[in-house]
């Protein structure tokens, strides 16, 4: 598994995402060569 590092290239990953009115699998590599913003949170009901 690659490790994400500040200032470096993001490792490829896949996950579920909501897009076009439904949920589906997406991979970061699907957006290669495009400007991409990745937002995530650790989970609901966690103490921050």
Which tens digit of pLDDT belongs to each residue from 1-48?
A: 677 788 888 888 898 888 889 999 999 999 889 988 877 666 666 665
Q: Which residues pair with 19 in a beta bridge?
A: 22
14: closest CA among 40, 35, 34? 40
Choose among 27, 6, 26: nearest CA to 17: 26
Q: Measured in whole angstroms, how far is the alpha carbon of residue 24 from the centre of its chain?
A: 13
**Quick one: how far is CA 45 from the chain centroid?**
20
Is pTM beyond 0.85? Reply is: no
Task: Please report the pLDDT score of residue 29 as a whole number.
Answer: 93
3-class SS at 9?
Answer: coil
């Amino acid at each position: 598994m690659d490790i994400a590092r500040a200032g470096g290239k993001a490792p490829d990953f896949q996950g579920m995402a909501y897009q076009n009115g439904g949920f589906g699998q997406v991979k970061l590599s699907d957006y290669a060569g495009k400007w991409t913003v990745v937002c995530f949170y650790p989970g609901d009901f966690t103490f921050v």
